[in-house]
Amino acid sequence: MADYKNFTVDIDADGIALVTWDMPDRSMNVFTEEVMNELDTIIDRVSGDGAIKGAVFTSGKETFSGGADLTMLQKMLTLFAKEKKKDPEAAAKLLFDNAGRMSWLWRKLETSGKPWVSAINGTCMGGAFELALACHGRVAANSDKVKMALPEVKVGIFPGAGGTQRVTRLTDPQSALQMLTSGQTLTPQKAKGMGLISEIAEPSELIEKAKGLIKGGLKGVQPWDEKGFKLPGGPVYSAAGANLWPPAVAILRRETFGNYPAATAILKCAYEGLLVPFETGLRIEQRYFTEIMQTREAAAMIRSLFVSLQELNKGARRPEGVPETQFKKIGVLGAGFMGAGIAYVTAKAGIPVVLLDRDTEAANKGRDHSDKLISDQIKKGRAKAEDKDKLLSLITPTADYADLNDCDLVIEAVFEDSEVKKGATEKSEAVIKPAAIFASNTSTIPISSLAQNSKRPKNFIGIHFFSPVDKMMLVEIILGKKTGEKALAVAIDYVRAIKKTPIVVNDTRGFYVNRCVLRYMSEAYKMLIEGIPAAMIENAAKMAGMPVGPLALTDETAVDLAQKIMKQTIRDLGDKAVDPKQMELINTLVDTHGRFGRKNGKGFYDYPAKPAKKKLWPGLKDLYPQRDPDTVDVEEIKQRLLAVIALEAVRVMEEGIVTDPREADVGSILAFGFAPYTGGALSYIDGIGAKKFAKIAKHLQKKYGVEFKAPKLLLDMAETGETFYQRFDPYAKGDAKKAA
């Protein structure tokens, strides 16, 4: 028997080979060059051995596979860029051949003459699901752990190993396009309903059921390779096709505004591929994949939304030499909306929580928030009744600070008032153990000033959650002037334990995210005052790639909160710190019209009872003389909204508030959805080029004001031609854990 590093091959008495994938040096199986070379050899062995009747492909780990190792794609792009300087044509051919490696290997498997069945026992993503689709039969375990998807579009590329060709030949084209262009995750039941898997089996019977398909006479030929094969949705050129393809193009345009080349390429691959024989379809897919791999969007999204995100999730900014924390109990002070949300995500991670408020009734109300959230999950089929009992048993409501005595970490989420926070800190420190870490969830008050209330400022840190806590995936960890390495390590360990992404920020008013978000909202207020119609502002923001317009975002966070922040800023920094016209706009909405935002059903938008949708408040157009929409440059609105955020991100880097460009980029996308196709606020500038962006900023400053003034850092980079990832290279010391 041949020896393989990543696979075992066991042949049973019936002549069925069980190919088990279990990479020894990885927690999850991923496709690497070595894995594909071994699999190539195994396919040859199965097809060339007359004693083998067929093969079952499965995983030796809890998950099936996460798909391709995208760092391999990064290396491919680096090699391409290097070769392109020498010989552009040869470089393109090299990229084309590399892009087709997996696709043609899967094709070799499905045309090997022997039946293959994939036995999917856990998460099966990307290239792994494309491998499963190339098998002649697919059996998935009946388990919540089994999730199948082709999610590549979310990182700027698309399924380029036959996914666009096989899915569209196995299921109806409408379902196929929805799945491919959204990266939709499928349960076994959904996948079977679409015809993408053959059977569902109980986990203990998975392998036997897969082998049973081969014993039952499964043919080693795909339907599309047999004469007379008919497409599930009928021919492209048919009445059904005429009703599908033109609207599909229009819907994609409406959803993406042309910002995602990979999504457009999926439609082209599917449409063109269904007009030709299967192998020609694979060539078409390979051609488009090669093209997409060379786009700025793919490079930026792969870096930020895959590589950087993974590194941060693994603790790239965690100090070395500090033992990892195993949390036995966590305290949460304040059972309001934020505190209750923090308690929920903590208990969901299996960590016991003490939820403290001024009285037991208030604390119990906070626990009820978790009850509601988990009950909603049960209704949607995403949780079970026993999950609810377990989660609620981990939350202990209390009004007694003494119950915090054995907590490893205490998170203060009381009212945003320095005196209230001071009292909570002092009462906690009177009872918690000396080694415990104390964290404040504040969105506006500098951590160093709050740490003055602590007797142990080394153990004091900021952990800033975003609302709603259960849905927002980013957490800002804020370092005070005296915060120690242990406090930082514990904070990162906690954020990782609750499966959120941590970014580390130095202390400043508004930290990182809020500084950027407030610029975004402020620019929209300025546009309203200029007389630009509100609908144009909101639509231009979406066209620029933002998931939510700035006025809608203000409503979500609350218009009266915007008013409080403005007033506090004036108190702290003086009258000139806030534009008086913007202050007047917000005061008019809140004080004159009682429009507080979504929470009271009226803000910049009106929020009627469901199922009616929100709509912009008609009264907005009466506040300022309206400009003729034909005189408004939509492209310039888009540019203003993105540039004002990006310039604030540059200032944050210049001031040393954020020191790692990965955190600036990932943070901007996860916190407020900064146009993901750009790779984030700094990658947006890198993609344009510092010199060109500095010129854009200068033009906007001349026309619209000081918020567009290019920081010295940007001007320096414009002179040197540097990018942020060169200037602040997070790998400068050869260690991803060290930021420059």
- The residue assigned the tokens 């002092």 is 426
Looking at residue 78, what is its pLDDT?
81
pLDDT single digits (tens) 36-87: 999 999 999 999 999 999 999 999 999 999 998 877 777 778 888 888 888 8
In 3D space, the residue among 161, 122, 118 whose CA is nearest the CA of residue 139 turns out to be 118
Looking at residue 163, what is its pLDDT?
97
Q: Is the dihedral of CA 42, 47, 52, 53 positive or negative?
A: positive
HEC string of 606-673 equals ECCCCCCCCEECCCHHHHCCCCCHHHCCHHHHHHHHHHHHHHHHHHHHHCCCCCCHHHHHHHHHHHHC
Residue 20 has pLDDT above 80, yes or no: yes
The predicted model gives 295-302 an average pLDDT of 93
| DSSP class of 223 | G
Q: Which of 118, 143, 464, 707 is catalytic?
A: 464
Those residues whose C-beta lies under 8 Å from the C-beta of residue 417, and which sit 6 or more positions away, are none
Q: What share of the chain is helix, strand, coil (3-state, %, to 5)?
A: 55, 10, 35
| DSSP class of 65 | B
Pick the CATH number of 7-294 from 3.20.20.10, 3.40.50.300, 1.10.260.40, 3.90.226.10: 3.90.226.10
Tell me the CA distances in angstroms from 462 to 297, 443, 503, 713, 739, one per residue in order. 33, 9, 11, 27, 20
Nearest-angstrom CA–CA distance, 714 and 392: 50
Q: Is 514 a catalytic residue?
A: yes
Where does the pLDDT of residue 130 fall: very low under 50, low under 70, confident under 90, or very high at 90 and above? very high
Nearest-angstrom CA–CA distance, 204 and 704: 66
Looking at residue 739, what is its pLDDT?
35
Q: Which residue has the higher pLDDT, 2 or 296?
A: 296
Please state whether the peptide bond connecting residue 247 to the residue before it is cis, i.e. omega within 30 degrees of 0.
no
Q: Which of 6, 59, 428, 514 is catalytic?
A: 514
Report phi then psi at 597, rounded to 5: 115, -165
pLDDT single digits (tens) 535-589: 999 999 999 999 999 999 999 989 998 998 899 889 888 988 899 999 999 999 9
Fold of 514-727: N-(1-d-carboxylethyl)-l-norvaline Dehydrogenase; domain 2 (1.10.1040)
Looking at residue 2, what is its pLDDT?
61
The per-type count for the chain, helices as H runs and strands as E runs, is 32, 18
Lowest mean pLDDT, pick from 98-112, 182-196, 502-516, 701-715: 502-516
Domain map (residue ranges) of the chain: 7-294, 330-509, 514-727
Q: Is residue 547 a contact partner of residue 677, using CB atoms and an 8 Å limit?
A: no
Q: What is the CA radius of gyration of the chain?
A: 28
| Topology alike, domains 7-294 and 514-727 | no
In 3D space, the residue among 726, 686, 665, 727 whose CA is nearest the CA of residue 308 turns out to be 665
Q: Is residue 538 a contact partner of residue 525, using CB atoms and an 8 Å limit?
A: no
Q: Which of 38, 199, 476, 648 is catalytic?
A: 476
Task: Tell me whether residue 540 is exposed, middle or buried, using C-beta atoms within 10 angstroms of its C-beta: 0 to 12, 13 to 18, 19 or more.
Answer: buried
Residue 725 has pLDDT above 70, yes or no: yes
Lowest mean pLDDT, pick from 169-173, 441-445, 598-602: 441-445
DSSP strand pairing (148-149 vs 199-201): unpaired
pLDDT single digits (tens) 153-180: 999 999 999 999 999 999 999 999 999 9
Nearest-angstrom CA–CA distance, 341 and 464: 12
pLDDT single digits (tens) 645-662: 999 999 999 999 999 999
pLDDT single digits (tens) 481-537: 999 999 999 999 999 999 999 999 999 877 899 999 999 999 999 999 999 999 999
Nearest-angstrom CA–CA distance, 116 and 489: 47
Label residues 216-244 b or e (16+ Cβ within 10 Å = b): eebebebebeeeeeebebeebeeeebeeb
DSSP string, 552-621: HHHHHH-HHHHHHHHHHHHHHH-GGGS-HHHHHHHHIIIIIT---BGGGTBSSEE-PSTTSPPEE-TTHH
Q: Coil, strand, or helix at residue 511?
A: coil
Q: Is 443 a catalytic residue?
A: yes
Residue 446 has pLDDT above 90, yes or no: no
Q: What whole-number percentage of the chain has pLDDT above 70?
A: 99
Looking at residue 1, what is its pLDDT?
47
The predicted model gives 448-475 an average pLDDT of 94
Q: Which of 443, 448, 459, 668 is catalytic?
A: 443
Where does the pLDDT of residue 735 fall: very low under 50, low under 70, confident under 90, or very high at 90 and above? very low
Residue 234 has pLDDT above 60, yes or no: yes
The predicted model gives 592-617 an average pLDDT of 93
Looking at residue 76, what is its pLDDT?
79
In 3D space, the residue among 127, 104, 95 whose CA is nearest the CA of residue 43 turns out to be 104
* CATH architecture of the domain with residue range 330-509: 3-Layer(aba) Sandwich (3.40)
> What is the overall mean pLDDT for the chain?
93
Tell me the CA distances in angstroms from 545 to 132, 539, 541, 641, 676, one per residue in order. 33, 10, 7, 10, 7
Looking at residue 740, what is its pLDDT?
30
In 3D space, the residue among 316, 306, 297 whose CA is nearest the CA of residue 71 turns out to be 306
Q: Is pTM, for the whole model, over 0.85?
A: yes
